[in-house]
A and B are shown apart, each in its own frame.
Chain A
Amino acid sequence: MRKIWWKILCIVIIFYVIVMGLMGEVPHLAIINESIRNTYYHVALWLAMTTLLFASMVFSVRYLIKGRINDDDIASELAKSAIFFGILGCLTGSIWANYTWGDPWPNDPKLNGAAVGILIYLAYLLLRSSFEDEQRKARISSVYNIFAFAVFIPIIYILPRLTDSLHPGSGGNSTFGSYDFDNSIRRVFYPAVIGYILLGLWLAELRIRMKRINRVREEIPDSAGHVTH
């Protein structure tokens, strides 16, 4: 029962976000109307994904410095739950775009950047699966992970701002924070981001534990075999 509080906190926050996100007060804006509630899901999912990817990169750096295989496990599982959130973020964004911009996949630099970002991380998973040796896999995919994050940030956050985009914060559109982000949204939005990050950590934690158990299980028959020889 140790360290269970953050899982309870995660469940409470997610329920709070679902209930308050659908029933709470929201500002009334033209065109967006009630779909502004998607901020709690779409925008928060992307922020959670970026945070998880950043954490994944930090663990990759730690692996390269210290060489402990655990750090690489954490990095890869964090990246996996981040990809999961990225796909969810794409889906929620697609629904939102369908009702406000009239097209589920408008030709927008940020959307295309997001698709490329997901491709980069899928390639990361492919790279991981193409090695047999654990240490070698860990070292090479850590190098790629750091490199990928350094390219991912410009694709998602910098390049779209240089061109015209439908998203807020680019092409002369103002950012979210400036005028339409009032307190009623903030009360749900910030908990939502924290809730999703916790959920992602939980997913990653379960898979890391699974991986460690499997590793131990694989080692046991090995060592038994050595004894009989």
Chain B
Amino acid sequence: MNEIKTLIWKEVTLEWRQKYALSGMLLYVVSTVFVAYLSFSLRRNQLTPIVWNTLFWIIILFTAVNAVAKSFSQERYGRLIYYYSLCSPQAIIISKIIYNSLIMLTLSGIGFGIYSLVMGNPVGDIGLYLLSILLAAIGFASVLTLVAGIASKADNSATLMAVLSFPLILPMLLMTIKLAKNALDGLDWSVSTDEITTLLSIDLIVITLSYLLFPYLWRS
């Protein structure tokens, strides 16, 4: 437990020292939202809630892939060996997943704020929408962390990251979009229990698998 806490703290300090990484991601979200806004601005009144919702999640998906992709590749080889000799792989993967979830929460929270500022906010049930953002942030972060670990071992890791992660993340994305749509329409929470439990169970499966499989990845 202590090990994980130290590792997360280390990630946060690293991020804080080299601010360009996080601010780069923030700028990425903001400019993507703005591009979407400008592209739609001529017909903003024709933007149906479904398009609004889908566009938001696609922006979040690309942000997630870009933000998490660097979680292994930004560290130098020597430093990875140093970690290898110090801590257990389980602690590393758990700390990376928690840290990436936090990053994703920040990014998608800020993204949601700006998006609803410029594109209007038709959400009926903000609480449920925020819950879907929370579940998606954790789910995306955990799938992408393991995939980033896999892709970082190969040479052309940027292409590989997209190719490997998009199909894997799709069921989660579809479930999230559906849950978010329910929130958008302001439906009762009992309607969405199916989606929430499915998302939670996918998250759980993915995190367990990452926990079990990462040690084998780490060794090479």
Same complex origin of A and B: yes
Q: Is A140 an interface residue (CB 8 A)?
A: yes
Q: Hey, what's the 0/1 contact readout for A134-154 against B, CB within 8 Å counting as 1?
A: 011001101110111011001
* Contact between chains at A144 and B164 (CB < 8 Å): yes
Contact B168 A147 (CB under 8 A): yes
Q: Is B78 an interface residue (CB 8 A)?
A: no
Question: What's the nearest-Cβ distance from chain A to residue B212, in Å?
Answer: 8
Chain B nearest CB: distance from A39 CB in Å? 27
Contact A150 B194 (CB under 8 A): no
Q: Judging by beta carbons under 8 Å apart, are A143 and B167 in contact? A: no
CB of B154 within 8 A of CB of A130, answer yes
How distant is the Cα of A144 from the Cα of B202 in the complex, in angstroms?
A: 16
Question: Binary interface profile of B, 151-181, with partner A (CB < 8 Å = 1, else 0)?
Answer: 0011110001001101110110011000000
**A123 x B209 contact (CB < 8 A):** no
Flag whether A162 is at the interface (Cβ < 8 A).
yes
Residues of chain B with a CB closer than 8 A to A150's CB: 205-206, 209
**Distance to closest chain A CB from B218 (angstroms):** 10
With A127-B160, A140-B217, A162-B198 in contact, is A151–B171 under 8 Å at CB?
Answer: yes
> Is the C-beta of B68 less than 8 angstroms from some C-beta in chain A?
no
Q: How far is the CA of A112 from the CA of B153 in the complex (A)?
A: 30
| Complexed CA–CA distance, A140 and B153 (Å) | 8
Q: Is B220 an interface residue (CB 8 A)?
A: yes
- Asked whether A159 lies within 8 Å of B160 as measured between CB atoms, the reply is no
Give Cα A143 to B214, complex, Å.
8
Q: Are B171 and A147 touching (Cβ within 8 A)?
A: no
Residue of A nearest to B213 (CB): A143
Measured CB to CB, the nearest residue on chain B to A65 is B216
B134 contacts A by Cβ under 8 Å: no
B150 at the interface (CB under 8 A from A): yes
How many A-B contacts if CB must be within 8 Å? Answer: 71
- Cβ–Cβ contact B198 & A147, under 8 A: no
Within the complex, the shortest CB–CB distance from A60 to chain B, in Å, comes to 10
**Which residue of the partner chain, among A120, A142, A159, contacts B216 with CB atoms under 8 Å?**
A142
A-chain residues with CB within 8 Å of residue B183 when the two chains form the complex: none
**Interface residue B146 (Cβ < 8 Å from any Cβ of A):** yes
Chain B's closest residue to A131 (CB) is B154
Inter-subunit contact B160/A130 (CB<8 Å): yes
A80–B205 Cα distance when bound, in Å, is: 25
Asked if A143 and B216 make an inter-chain contact with CB atoms under 8 angstroms apart, the answer reads yes
Query: When chains A and B are docked, how far (Å) is the Cα of A106 from the Cα of B163?
Result: 25
A139 & B160 in contact (Cβ 8 Å cutoff): no
Q: Evaluate contact between B150 and A127: CB separation under 8 angstroms.
A: yes
A154 touches B168 (CB 8 A): no
Q: Which residues of A contact B198 (CB under 8 A)?
A: 158-159, 162
A155 B171 Cβ-Cβ under 8 A:
yes
Minimum CB–CB distance from B54 to chain A (whole Å) comes to 15
Q: What residues on A are CB-neighbors of B150 within 8 Å?
A: 127, 140, 143-144
12 of the cross-chain contacts (CB-CB < 8 Å) are A64-B216, A116-B167, A119-B166, A123-B167, A126-B163, A139-B217, A142-B216, A143-B213, A144-B164, A147-B209, A150-B206, A151-B206
Interface residues of A (CB under 8 A from B): 64, 113, 116-117, 119-120, 123, 126-127, 130-131, 135-136, 139-140, 142-144, 146-148, 150-151, 154-155, 158-159, 162
